[in-house]
Amino acid sequence: MHVETIILSNFQAHKDLRLALSPITSIVGPSDIGKSAILRALRWCCLNDFAGDDFITWGEKETFVHLLIREQKKVFQIIRTKSARHNAYALDKEEFKAVGTGVPDRISNLLRLSEINFQGQFDSPFWFSESAPEISRQLNRVIDLSVIDTSLSFIASAVRSASERVALLTERLEGWRREQNELEPQRARAAQFRALEKLEQKQNEAEENHDHLFTLLARIDSNSAGELQEQAEDALALFGTARGWRNLSLDVEALQSILGRIDNLGTWAEPPDFSGVETARAVLIQKSYFCASLEKLVEAITEADNNCVDLHETFLACEEKFHREIQNQICPLCGKKL
């Protein structure tokens, strides 16, 4: 921020003054021509710390201080006006009325000036005549050491709170570790109990398999032997019928051979009586159908016999596996060997 121009109207000795300011400006002149009034006007516009209207030029009713300020590449106008009925600030076209003894926030944020930025001609050299506590107070106003103190206080409080929480959590952790050590025997007993439950489950499964196998054995002993005997007898009868059908087929072939030779003998004067042959042919056809049915029945019996053999072998394998698994095992109920 740079104040480029200050314009005074009816301010103490200056009825109308326009002064261009550079970044470093020196005001030189004889006494009582208004050098201090320029600084006083600048301070009044920036800080608004003069009460009353004594600085209005004698005989005038209103005064104003006009500042042209450059902020980077933009120019702002600040006008401070005071009269018996009017006390206001203006920033460009925006007016702030009835400001009292303070500076509007928008203007204060733009100027960023405080009392430490102004020094009068009768003031002591800046900080050289101040005591150490006063310099410390002034530095605190410049860099706001209270923020650092507040931060350090907050950090110390947070460290104390964290330390107390760590101590509390450490105490709880130790208590949990003691409880864990006390529960270790209970965990071992629980593991043993779960192992016993698994053994009991395996025993129940073994007993169910044992009962199932005994049921199968009883069913086989009661039914399979008789059924197999009947199936064997039926198979023998079918085999006999099949042999008869084979012999009958040979007779049919011989008969067909005879009929062929007869056809080769030529035409008979009187046709012979073939009623017996036709009867034999009808019987042959009937027997052929019967033999075909017998063949299918023989195949079914053979398949059933193979299934019975496979079932018997499976049963023997299961029984052997069951006896092998329970051999030399201790019964969990009575404690005897199985």
Q: What percentage of the chain reaches a pLDDT higher than 70?
A: 79
Q: What order do you get walking across the sheet with 94-97 strand by strand?
A: 14-20, 2-11, 62-71, 74-83, 87-91, 94-97
Question: Mean pLDDT over all residues of the chain?
Answer: 79
What's the burial of 118, exposed, middle or buried (CB within 10 Å: 0-12/13-18/19+)?
A: middle
Highest mean predicted confidence (pLDDT) among 165-174, 240-249, 329-338: 165-174
- Asked whether the beta carbons of 235 and 301 are under 8 A apart, the reply is yes
Place of tokens 């605190």: 140
Distances (CA, A) of 255 to 9, 133, 251, 285: 158, 150, 6, 14
Least confident interval from 46-50, 173-177, 305-309? 305-309
Confidence of residue 273 (pLDDT cuts 50, 70, 90): low
Structure tokens at 131: 């005591």
Strands 94-97 and 2-11: unpaired
Structure tokens at 289: 């159908």
56 has a pLDDT exceeding 80? yes
- What is the pLDDT at residue 9? 93
* Residue 279 token pair: 């009867």
What CATH architecture does domain 2-112 belong to? 3-Layer(aba) Sandwich (3.40)
166 pLDDT band, cuts 50/70/90, is: very high
pLDDT at 42 over 80: yes
pLDDT value at residue 228:
57
**Token reading at 173:** 């952790």
pLDDT at 78: 92
Q: Which long-range contacts (CB under 8 A, 24 or more apart) does 194-200 make?
A: 196/332, 199/332, 200/332
pLDDT score, position 6: 94
d(CA 77, CA 13): 23
Instruction: State the pLDDT at residue 16.
Output: 93
pTM: 0.41
Residue tagged 């950090």 (tokens): 155
Of 15-24, 69-78, 82-91, 287-296, which gets the smallest average pLDDT? Answer: 287-296
Domain ranges of the chain: 2-112
Q: What does 22-83 look like in DSSP terms, one character per residue? A: -SS------TTSSHHHHHHHHHHHHH----SSTTBPTT-SEEEEEEEEEETTEEEEEEEEEE
Q: In this predicted structure, what is the pLDDT of residue 115? A: 79
| pLDDT (tens digit per residue) in 98-109 | 677 788 988 888
Q: How confident is the model at residue 15 (pLDDT cuts 50, 70, 90)?
A: very high
Asked if 102 and 71 count as a contact pair (C-beta separation under 8 A), the reply is: no
Residue 18: the pLDDT is 93
Please determine, for residue 5, whether its predicted confidence score (pLDDT) is greater than 90. yes
